[in-house]
A and B are shown apart, each in its own frame.
Chain A
Amino acid sequence: QSVLTQPPSASGTPGQRVTISCSGSSSNIGSNTVNWYQQLPGTAPKLLIYTNNQRPSGVPDRFSGSKSGTSASLAISGLQSEDEADYYCAAWDDSLNGPVFGGGTKLTVL
């Protein structure tokens, strides 16, 4: 059972907009920044969004992040087949004194 809760799966058709949620508590998302990672099949995770809503260089602006209270969301607009991957949220947890990850969401492009 992960400290941060994500839906196990999400799906959309090409061109659609999909969102993936990440629910936490006051000790993690509520008081710290959220980061998102994309893991393509058979590869290492890649930083997608940092500090709630910032995109690293090279990440398309189709990807956006937001945070409100103890929850965060990743939005992908103009869905493409290459977006099919697992997505993980992560944040520092003040109670555990370490970073925690969500269980991951498998995104399928139909």
Chain B
Amino acid sequence: QLQLQESGPGLVKPSETLSLTCTVSGGSISRSGYYWGWIRQPPGKGLEWIGTIYYSGNTYYNPSLKSRVTMSVDTSKNQFSLKLTSVTAADTAVYYCARHAPGGIAAAAAHIQHWGQGTLVTVSS
């Protein structure tokens, strides 16, 4: 049974960098064909795609966040990570890591098979 677990600070100061890690268990992050992603949900609001990464390192970012987002994969630890720079209160949200379905990016990115439980990150001084 694939499981994903987000970890990282729950409180980040404005203008600083939000850093989260997703640890994958029950399956290999290097399994060919699968993409891994981050999605966030501000309190009381809807879902927003942040970005998606393939185990080889290919990345796809939301254009509205692209200038502030970096995703990476550590296959030795079976983890992938998210960094979001210059955060503001608008970045306060529950952040979910996820595994997309296999296939091409256009079919896979909107098809999320497994979700982490989510972690609330609050941006406040």
In contact, B46 and A90 (Cβ under 8 angstroms): no
Stretch at the interface among A11-19, A39-47, A73-81: A39-47
Asked if A71 lies at the interface with its beta carbon under 8 angstroms from chain B, I say no
In contact, A44 and B109 (Cβ under 8 angstroms): no
- With A32-B106, A44-B96 known as contacts, the answer to whether A100 contacts B111 (CB < 8 A) is no
A33: contacting residue among B48, B110, B117, B118, CB under 8 A:
B110
Determine the residue in chain B with the shortest Cβ distance to A93. B110
Give the residues in chain A near B46, CB-CB below 8 Å. 2, 88, 101-104
Asked if A35 lies at the interface with its beta carbon under 8 angstroms from chain B, I say yes
Q: B7 → chain A, closest Cβ, in Å? A: 15
Asked if A58 lies at the interface with its beta carbon under 8 angstroms from chain B, I say no
Asked if A20 lies at the interface with its beta carbon under 8 angstroms from chain B, I say no
Q: Which of A56, A96, A98 has the most chain B CB atoms inside 10 A of its CB?
A: A98
In contact, B49 and A99 (Cβ under 8 angstroms): yes
* Chain A count of residues within 8 A CB distance of the other chain: 28
Determine the residue in chain B with the shortest Cβ distance to A28. B110
Interface positions, chain B 72-125, Cβ under 8 Å from A, are 96, 101, 105-107, 109-113, 115-118
Asked if A91 lies at the interface with its beta carbon under 8 angstroms from chain B, I say yes
In contact, B113 and A92 (Cβ under 8 angstroms): no
Q: Which of A46, A99, A101 has the most chain B CB atoms inside 10 A of its CB?
A: A99
Seen from chain B, the residues whose Cβ lies within 8 Å of a Cβ on chain A are: 46-49, 60-63, 96, 101, 105-107, 109-113, 115-118
